Structure 1
Amino acid sequence: MRNRDTKLTVLMSVRNGEPYVRESVQSILRQTYEDYLFLIVDNASDDRTPEIVESFRDPRVRLIQLEKDIGQTAALNLGLGMTRSPYIARIDADDVSHPTRLEKQMAYARAHPDTALIGTWTTIIGPDGSPIAEKETSTDPDVLMEELLFRNVFAHSSVMFARAAVSELGGYPTHARYAQDYALWLEVTLRHPTTILPEFLVSIRRHDEQIGRSGLSSERVRDPMVLIDNILSRPDLPSSLLNLKNKARARASLRYAAGLREEGRWSQAFVELGRGLMLDAPGSLGKESAVYIAQTVLGMRGYEWICSARRRRPMGT
């Protein structure tokens, strides 16, 4: 394999990424840190994705074309097995990296060799690349672990991780289709130091053709709920997290309830809502949990209508 001795491999798994893959690949090839292998696993695309990737003709790019769609998790694990670089940086085919992203993450990795997972702050962009929002999170390792019990604070396309730390876990888990990265970060963070660089170094694109970034379908939100429940049931859970058990389980249940309600599964939704409310006092659940409660009771359309009406209401009324 070309560039087999490089310290870094950038890994992309893509299926039918024609609309955005060119911009994503360009963002990696224009990095100020240049010593890497760019391994792109094409998951049986039936559009122009392979043609676009091959058009770059950069010696750092290696394209692996699969004849059959094996799913993103299996494709990522295949890529992990094809590199011996000590560090792996992820990028999805619709996201964009800031030119200094790899340089800054590698600098941190060299200065903190015990750190197994390095994320960054992110900018959310629309289909046309226009900014929508900025996502910040704490950089304190203890706070990161606590936050992970409530949500995935590591944007997948922002992470660089130590290959050894992920390999010892068997790679990406295959039991969580919509949360394979979340499951992995939870396990890595329980075992190793992790961090998030307080800079906006990656843009995460929001568009309609995505499997795990948006929506409140019950399947999408059930995976994280099961993961959190499993983590919280572990006998080796750090003592600092024990007092968050009920609150984390309550948040996961309320989000699941909103997903069930969105699918019209009313009775199940309200059973799950009751479960969440019994796990923790409603007054201590926080704003995000209150949103899930409102979405369960009102439905997504009702909730959005009320939010829209509040925005239209004249000031002072």
Structure 2
Amino acid sequence: MTANLPHKKVTSVKVSVVMPIYNVEAFVKDAINSVLNQSFKHFELLLIHDCSPDNSLAICKQFHDPRIRIIEHEQNQGLAAARNTGIRHAIGQYVAFIDSDDMWHKEKLLQHITHLDQAPEVGISFCRSLFMNFQGQKINIYQMPQLTNIEASDLLCRNPVGNGSAPVIRRETLSDIRFQALNKRQPHSCYFDENFRQSEDIECWLRIVTTTHWKIEGIPAPLTLYRLNAQGLSADLKKQYASWENMINKAKGYAPDLLAKHEAKARAYQLRYIARQAIRNKDGKEAVKYLHLAVKTAPSIIKAETGRTLATMAAAYLLKLLPLSLYKVFEELAQFVLGRIQTAKISKDGVNPALLK
């Protein structure tokens, strides 16, 4: 593993930003710039190059900001290992994560640091996210998760953090879940489980909530711009679901009572989430299949979240039955209406309108 040092010593580092780099030559420049343009300046940016075969590393090396450090893996290890490498090298009081195909609003770090400074019981601070399409255009639809009073059962059923570019975490919180890798020739500290190629984030958050005293809490502003990957395949959905099942099996070891009570409901919510992913991939057949599995697994989700479940059902069947061109008309109309409702909700929560632009 190699690392380049900054041109001069970076002082007063409050937060370390960890960005894994792999096959993102089309996006990584924008991601890096969105960090460098933060209104809060006292950070370091750790770019973890995970042996990407494309031009990503060369693009990273074009930046000459003293706050940037590039750390190179000697072989590809995956997202969880890249994040672990970043944490081990981090010197900040807080650690923030951003995936290299996403972007941040310029006020993101400032708002999260303010939140964590004022709420010492909170170990993970996250935010709402604004979706953008594969080309980077905002589509004015938001991830609108539960923000407060988050219990382990809430986290198990619906990951409120939403994506890997939303959380900012205390160093002490990560230290409290640190463990030693046993399957490596060179043992090292881990925080995310490197055996997972997917679901590594929710497994980490669940471990924090169930095995430590730290709370998880969100702020209402949509400060993360999350890119929807239009290149997903049905095979990836199967891998994603299989990885989630592996996470459940691991969680039974440290939270058996939680799983005994909520596993079926959590599986139904996950299947419904996979159905929505299939809808984004424009695969109506797979969407209907996973939605049927969700309802069969726990019919109670229809009553618990009627609107969201019925909306997913409508989209799945319309996608399966209609020509794609006609389906897109309904999709655009639904997104317009949903976006207006969500924007009104965010404004009602006291978010500065400037953050919605």
With the shorter chain as reference, the TM-score category is 0.7 to 0.9
Alignment match, 2:354: none
2:109 is aligned with what amino acid? L
Alignment match, 2:239: 219
The 3-state SS of whatever aligns with 1:19 is coil
The 3-state SS of whatever aligns with 2:241 is helix
Alignment match, 2:269: 251
| In 2: Cα distance, 1:275 partner to 1:104 partner | 36
Q: TM-score, normalised by structure 2?
A: 0.70
Deviations 1:243-273 (A, max 9, x none): x55432443466679999x8x99xxx79x96
Matched, 1:206 2:228: yes
Of 238, 258, 264, which aligns to 1:237?
258
2:96 is aligned with what amino acid? A
Cα distance change, pair 35–310 in 1 and its aligned pair in 2 (3 A): closer
Q: TM-score, normalised by structure 1?
A: 0.78
| In 1: Cα distance, 2:263 partner to 2:74 partner | 44
Query: Does the CA contact (< 8 Å) of 1:221 and 1:255 recur in 2?
Result: no
Measure how far apart 1:230 and its partner are. Answer: 5.5
Cα distance change, pair 253–49 in 1 and its aligned pair in 2 (3 A): closer
Matched, 1:173 2:193: yes
1:20 is aligned with what amino acid? F
2:126 is aligned with what amino acid? G
| In 1: Cα distance, 2:156 partner to 2:323 partner | 27
Alignment match, 1:131: 138
Alignment match, 1:156: 164
The 3-state SS of whatever aligns with 1:25 is helix
Measure how far apart 1:17 and its partner are. Answer: 1.4
Measure how far apart 1:291 and its partner are. Answer: 7.2
Query: Does the CA contact (< 8 Å) of 1:232 and 1:245 recur in 2?
Result: no
Cα distance change, pair 249–85 in 1 and its aligned pair in 2 (3 A): same
| In 2: Cα distance, 1:105 partner to 1:36 partner | 13
2:303 is aligned with what amino acid? S
Matched, 1:103 2:122: no
Cα distance change, pair 259–128 in 1 and its aligned pair in 2 (3 A): closer
Measure how far apart 1:182 and its partner are. Answer: 1.1
Measure how far apart 1:224 and its partner are. Answer: 2.3
Measure how far apart 1:42 and its partner are. Answer: 0.7
| In 1: Cα distance, 2:73 partner to 2:226 partner | 25
Question: Identity of aligned pairs, percent?
Answer: 20
The 3-state SS of whatever aligns with 2:95 is strand
Measure how far apart 1:281 and its partner are. Answer: 4.8
Measure how far apart 1:14 and its partner are. Answer: 0.9
Alignment match, 1:194: 216
| In 1: Cα distance, 2:94 partner to 2:321 partner | 46
| In 1: Cα distance, 2:276 partner to 2:113 partner | 40
Deviations 1:285-310 (A, max 9, x none): 645556778899x79745887x9399
| In 1: Cα distance, 2:277 partner to 2:16 partner | 37
Measure how far apart 1:104 and its partner are. Answer: 0.7
Cα distance change, pair 290–102 in 1 and its aligned pair in 2 (3 A): same
The 3-state SS of whatever aligns with 1:237 is helix
Measure how far apart 1:276 and its partner are. Answer: 6.0
1:176 is aligned with what amino acid? F
Matched, 1:118 2:139: no
Alignment match, 1:147: 154
Measure how far apart 1:202 and its partner are. Answer: 0.9
Alignment match, 2:95: 88
1:147 is aligned with what amino acid? D
1:90 is aligned with what amino acid? F
Superposition pairs for residues 54-69 of structure 1, below 5 Å?
A: 54-69=61-76
Measure how far apart 1:21 and its partner are. Answer: 0.5
Deviations 1:66-105 (A, max 9, x none): 2321111111111111123221001111111111100111
Deviations 1:10-50 (A, max 9, x none): 00001121101111100100111111111110111232222
Superposition pairs for residues 8-47 of structure 1, below 5 Å?
A: 8-47=15-54
The 3-state SS of whatever aligns with 1:156 is coil
| In 2: Cα distance, 1:287 partner to 1:225 partner | 26
Stretches of structure 1 that go unaligned for 5 or more consecutive residues are 313-317
| In 1: Cα distance, 2:66 partner to 2:205 partner | 31
Cα distance change, pair 156–275 in 1 and its aligned pair in 2 (3 A): closer
Query: Does the CA contact (< 8 Å) of 2:295 and 2:302 recur in 1?
Result: no
Cα distance change, pair 308–162 in 1 and its aligned pair in 2 (3 A): same
